[in-house]
Amino acid sequence: MDSQNTAFRRTTLVFLFSGLGILVLAALSASIGSVTLPLDAVLKTLTGSTDVDPVMRQIILDFRLPRILTALLAGAALGTAGLLMQTVFRNPLADPFVLGVNSGASLGVALVLLALAPAGISLTEGLGASGQLLIIFASSAGAAATLFVVLLLSRRVDVMSVLIIGLMISYTVGAIVSILMFFSMAERLQSFINWSFGDYGNVSWSHLRLFAPAIFSGIIVSVLFIKPLDALLLGESYAQSIGTNTKRCRLLVLLAASILAGTVTGFCGPIGFLGIAAPHLSRYLCRTSSHRVLIPASILIGALLSLGSDFVSRGPGLDVVLPLNAITALVGAPVIIAALVKQRNMKRLFG
């Protein structure tokens, strides 16, 4: 059919342009920073040529490349997690942040950093794999715990109440974190606050060996659930009536979402808005609800937004690093407002 061709063309264009955007931003991120490096040095380093100043080579390989990869993976993970949660909760505003998952993760991290810290674990300096694992585990467990509490309660109330419950859980967990902070030493506090600003710069190559597989596994699980996720758009009863095992689907999809959101939060800190903005932009640009299109689109657009935010946060031309969290909010909130205004109501945007 004709309109199917236009839809296909639109999707291809979205994928093409976000892919191009990622390449351009990655090149810019690699060359611009505290020291500006020539683009050809970047290219030569990446192609494995030895004809590069070893210092430049080291900056690119050991600092900028892991940071770029982290930004891409984190954006992809948050975009996917947001999409999964919006579908499962049937709520256009559901994302890891709004449903309290981030606060759950920060409680986990706060417990590790502030309460267990006397053991000498610090996030920012030379962590061994075991310390890093502990933090990932803590944040993922915190994220999963909050998500399942919200999911449990969501079966008894309507969709709007789920949102409010998520917010209330966020506040509660935030209060517990505050109490933990109140009793903590200043230096522990500082590392927790730094973690809570969000930063892609803490993930080294050795961390990426854990970070990347965790995110890939979350994304693979969500890809396996493309069909049941589509069915869930019709609501639980209909989904069952077309043969979907809704309980198993919810459980595993939320598990994937909490691994994705929990891992990113653990390694990079709580990063808001990417989880809402990426799926919404994908829906808006691709004009579809099919997860077969929306999952890759959210991955690409999430990665693009994430890399862009990181690029801006490092303030090209400035000598400071702004909190990443602030930048994603500054990018994400207007995107959501614009999408709502353009569609005039939430029903059209999402239903």
Partner 1 sequence: MTKSSQENALTAGALSIGYQQGAAARYIAEDLNVSLEAGEFVCLLGPNGVGKSTLIRTLAGMQSPLSGQVQIAGSNFQDIPPRERARLVSVVLTETAPIGMMDAYTMVSLGRHPYSGRFGSLSVEDRERIEWSFDAVGARDLAQRQVAELSDGERQKVSIARALAQATQVMLLDEPTAFLDLPRRVELMSILRNLAHKEKLALLLSTHDLDLALRFADRFWVLTPEGQLIQGYPEAIAMSGDFAKVFASENLDWDASVGSFRAHPTPCLNAKVSGNGAAALWTKRALERLGFGTTEGHSKAAFSIAVQGQALWQVEHDGTTQDFDSITELINWIQSQDWSIVDL
Tokens matching residue 189: 């506090």
Q: Which of 9, 209, 342, 348 binds partner 1 (CB under 8 A)?
A: 348
C-alpha to C-alpha distances, 233 to 60, 91, 161, 274, 340, nearest whole angstrom: 44, 10, 19, 21, 20
Cα 162 to Cα 111: distance, rounded to the nearest angstrom: 26
Tokens matching residue 287: 């004009």
**Contact status: 243 vs partner 1 (CB under 8 A):** yes
**Contact status: 209 vs partner 1 (CB under 8 A):** no
Cα 351 to Cα 333: distance, rounded to the nearest angstrom: 20
Q: Which amino acid is at 33?
A: G
Closer to partner 1 at the Cβ: 209 or 348? 348
Strands (E) across 96-155 are located at none
**Contact status: 226 vs partner 1 (CB under 8 A):** yes
The secondary structure of residue 52, as a DSSP letter, is S
Site string for partner 1, 170-189 (x = CB under 8 A): --------------------
- In this chain, which stretch among 26-34, 87-95, 113-121, 127-135 interacts with partner 1, using CB under 8 A? 87-95
The secondary structure of residue 91, as a DSSP letter, is -
Q: Which of 78, 230, 257, 336 binds partner 1 (CB under 8 A)?
A: 230
Give DSSP secondary structure letters for 286-303.
HT---HHHHHHHHHHHHH
- In this chain, which stretch among 36-44, 97-105, 269-277, 289-297 interacts with partner 1, using CB under 8 A? 289-297
**Contact status: 235 vs partner 1 (CB under 8 A):** yes
**Contact status: 3 vs partner 1 (CB under 8 A):** yes
**Contact status: 292 vs partner 1 (CB under 8 A):** yes
**Contact status: 240 vs partner 1 (CB under 8 A):** yes
Residue spans of alpha helices (H) in 225-323: 226-232, 236-241, 246-268, 274-286, 291-313
Q: Which amino acid is at 253?
A: V
- In this chain, which stretch among 18-26, 41-49, 238-246, 269-277 interacts with partner 1, using CB under 8 A? 238-246
Residue numbers at the binding site for partner 1 (CB under 8 A): 1, 3, 87, 90, 92, 224, 226-227, 230-231, 233-235, 237-238, 240-245, 283-284, 287-290, 292, 347-351
